[in-house]
Amino acid sequence: MDLFQEVAFTAPHFPLPAARRCILCQPRAVSVVGRTAHTPGAPMPESESHQESPGSPRASRLGLALFWVYVLLYGGFMGLVLARPDLLSLRPFGGVNLAIVYGMGLIAAAFMLAVIYMVLRSGR
């Protein structure tokens, strides 16, 4: 096994210095292309550091909350399809049945939650 490896690229336009490390002794540098190298264990660069445990950049609390909102909506739909398919034939909206209204609603909800997430995250 090769214990040494290049951790950063040597291409001339690359801002990272080429470095050789023993991969058994040190945690490997994680580089994000176009940015400075970030080592696990160190806090993340400014804007993404909140609420994230060291070494493992986590999804934000807001993201997880919105994720669960969607799980409820999606789960509700699958529950209806599996348990009460008769309800999906109801026509609550302009003569269009619930199966289509709910389905399109799920697509719209995904988009709206995504926009909410983007706006709130960039607003911080």
Partner 1 sequence: MLHETSIAAVAIFAAFVLGVIGLSFFLGRKGQSASGYYAAHGQIHWFVNGIAFAGDYLSAASFLGICGMIAFSGYDGFLYSIGFLAGWVVALFVIAEPIKALGKFTFADALDSRFNSRGIKLSVAVSTLVVSVFYLIPQMVGAGSLIKPLLGLPHEAGVILVGVTVTLIVVTAGMVSTTWVQFIKGSLLVFFCGVLTVMILGRGLAVNAGREGPENLAPQIRTIRPDGMVLIDGQPQSRDHDLRPVGTIVRLPERFAGRASTGPLGPLAYLATLEDSTIVTWSAKKHADAEGVHTTYTPVERPGAELLKPGGFFKGLASGNLPDRLDFASLMLALFCGTASLPHILIRYYTVKDAAAARKSTVVGIAAIGVFYVLTLYLGLGAMTAGALDPTDTNMAAPLLAKTFNETLFAIISAIAFTTVLGTVSGLIMAGSGAVAHDLVENVCGVRMTDHEKIRCGKIAAVGLGIVAMALGILFRNFNVSFLVGWAFNIAASANLPALVMLLFWPRTTRQGIVAAVTVGMLASLSWILLSADTFEKVYGLARDLAPTPFSQPALVTIPLGFLTLIVVSLLTPAPTASRR
Binding mask 1-40 for partner 1 (x = CB under 8 A): xx--xx--xxx-xx--------xxx-xx-xxxxxx--x-x
**Cβ 68 to partner 1 shortest distance, Å:** 9
Among 19, 42, 74, 92, binds partner 1 (CB under 8 A): 74
- Shortest Cβ distance from residue 113 to partner 1 (Å)? 7
Task: Dump the DSSP string for the chain.
Answer: ---EEE-S---TT--SPP-EEETTTSPPPB--TTS--B-TTSPPPGGG-TT--TTS-PPPHHHHHHHHHHHHHHHHHHHHHHH-GGGGG---BTTB-HHHHHHHHHHHHHHHHHHHHHHHHHH-
What the block records as the tokens of 16 is 């990272």
Residues near partner 1, by CB under 8 A: 1-2, 5-6, 9-11, 13-14, 23-25, 27-28, 30-35, 38, 40, 44, 47-48, 53, 55-60, 63-64, 66-67, 70, 74, 77-78, 81-82, 85, 88-89, 91, 93-97, 99-100, 103-104, 106-108, 110-111, 113-115, 117-118, 121-122
